[in-house]
A and B are shown apart, each in its own frame.
Chain A
Amino acid sequence: MWHWEANPLNGPAVLGMVIGGVVILILTLLVVMYSIYWQRKLIGWIQWRIGPNRVGPFGLLQTAADVIKLLIKEDVVPEKADRAMFLLAPIIAFVPAFTVLAAIPFSAHHVFTANISIGALFYVALSAITIHGVMLGAWASNNKYSLIGGMRSAAQLISYEIPLGLSIVGVVLMAGSINLNDIVEAQAKSGLWYVIPQILGFIVFMIASTAELSRTPFDLPEAESELVAGYHTEYSGFRFAFFMLTEYVYLFAMAGLFATLYLGGWSGPLLPGWLWFAIKAFLYISFQFWLQATMPRMRVDQLMSFSWKVLLPLALVNIVITAVVKAFV
């Protein structure tokens, strides 16, 4: 039918691509809407509350109401801010967040996403661009809280990107490919999800990905109680919404990467592939919200030394063990 791999490219294939992109965009927005709802509901239950329950049945339309509220709020640009940069920053942060989803295999055949040969590297490379958007927004705001939040954010993201990238190398060693779809197929063929042979790398990945998403216990860039939300203090209305959207799109993308690398992505018995993928991604997202409800925030000095002194050596050890085992088994 409209398969984008048509060779040479023809009209229906291009149409298929456009449909695929739009479907993923709508899907992403829905996932973000309902993961925010699920976050509030789950944390509500953990804290012995009911959570949102007024807008729509069971509060299901709460996030939609919040989005509309943000859309009709005034867009204030501070007088001292660098206007052009201030307006541009949320877009620079958002575009890579959405683009990384192009490499994630949601099902056995790349119906809606691209099958690119460097998938894992593509994710790591593009997600680093968001740091520029955050830094730019923080600097352009000309606000002291924002600047501190932005600097902290940049220092944290670059520190934790290295253990994250190194933990993925272990998986690449096992599968012999960076293509995310090949990694899933290698897991399906061997019948063993990489969470078991790569348990050390998995632990490093979980911690580093939590820090990359700036979620509790690593939410220092946005520490509400000390930095007044950090890099987006000065942002209001829909521009603020785009920073929040970026954060939740990354949560979804990271859940997809987690499922693909360690839990065998779309592979699994009985159920269709996309449902397996959804279940595994949901697990990761729920895990993040659970952490948020139970963990206190780290100190900045602990945060930095933890990445360099604990996670980085662990990730290197993981690579050496994997390589040695692979060479002799």
Chain B
Amino acid sequence: MFQYWNGYLFVALFIILGILLPVASLWVIGPLLRPNHPTQGKRTTYESGLEPFGDARVRYNARYYLFALLFVVFDVETLFLYPWAVSYKRLGMFALVEMLIFLFLLVIGLVYAWRKKVLEWT
């Protein structure tokens, strides 16, 4: 039990180190080394040398949302497959049939999306 938690304590340590490195180099050491003279010209948005116009936060392609929805469906499926794969040896034939049914239902979903031309990027 203790060994189990020790592993995650180690992960927590990695997270702390991962935060410390950028914080130390960007907010502690960085300001001592780098110059800081913000001028108006520097602070304009880069647009290949032209005067920037408008705002970047405009409406964009709704296709991104469709892919995000599909992603949620299939990612949850992947998540269900992991515990199944681990205990597959113990469950035997029952697990195989169950999973084939599960995959079949999902493939129907994929075929539906395919036929509806959701997977096309045009």
Q: Which A residues have a C-beta under 8 Å from some C-beta of B?
A: 4-9, 13, 17-18, 20-22, 24-25, 71-80, 87, 90-91, 94-99, 101-103, 113-117, 120-122, 124, 139, 141-147, 151, 154-155, 158-159, 161-162, 165-166, 169, 172-173, 176-178, 228, 233-234, 237-239, 242, 300-301, 303-305, 308-309, 312-313, 316, 319-320, 323-324, 326-327
Q: Is the CB of B57 within 8 A of A139?
A: yes
Q: Is the CB of B78 within 8 A of A169?
A: yes
Q: Answer yes or no: B105 CB below 8 A from chain A CBs.
A: no
Q: How far is the CA of A315 from the CA of B114 in the complex (A)?
A: 17
Q: Is the CB of A74 within 8 A of B37?
A: yes
Given A77-B43, A155-B67, A228-B48: A17 and B13 interface contact (C-beta under 8 Å): yes
How close is B41's CB to chain A, nearest CB, in angstroms? 10
Closest chain B residue, CB of each to CB of A125: B79
Q: Is the CB of A151 within 8 A of B22?
A: no
Checking B37, B57, B99, B121 against A142 with a beta-carbon cut-off of 8 angstroms, the contacting residue is B57
Given A17-B10, A71-B30, A143-B46: A305 and B121 interface contact (C-beta under 8 Å): yes
Q: Is the CB of A320 within 8 A of B119?
A: no
Q: Is the CB of A142 within 8 A of B30?
A: no
Q: Is the CB of B47 within 8 A of A143?
A: yes
8 Å CB interface, B1-24 against A: 2-4, 6-11, 13-15, 17-19, 21-23
Q: List 28 A-B contacts (CB under 8 A).
A: A9-B9, A13-B6, A21-B13, A74-B34, A74-B36, A79-B44, A90-B26, A94-B18, A98-B17, A99-B18, A114-B10, A116-B7, A117-B7, A158-B67, A159-B71, A161-B71, A169-B82, A172-B85, A173-B88, A178-B82, A178-B86, A237-B34, A238-B26, A239-B26, A304-B67, A305-B121, A316-B107, A323-B96
Given A7-B3, A72-B33, A323-B88: A102 and B21 interface contact (C-beta under 8 Å): no
The secondary-structure label for the interface of chain B is helix
How close is B74's CB to chain A, nearest CB, in angstroms? 5
Q: Is the CB of A147 within 8 A of B60?
A: yes
Q: Is the CB of A78 within 8 A of B9?
A: no
Closest chain B residue, CB of each to CB of A20: B10
Most chain B C-beta atoms within 10 Å of own C-beta, residue among A13, A20, A95, A113 = A95
Checking B34, B46, B57, B96 against A327 with a beta-carbon cut-off of 8 angstroms, the contacting residue is B96
Q: Is the CB of B85 within 8 A of A169?
A: yes
Checking A8, A172, A304, A320 against B100 with a beta-carbon cut-off of 8 angstroms, the contacting residue is A320
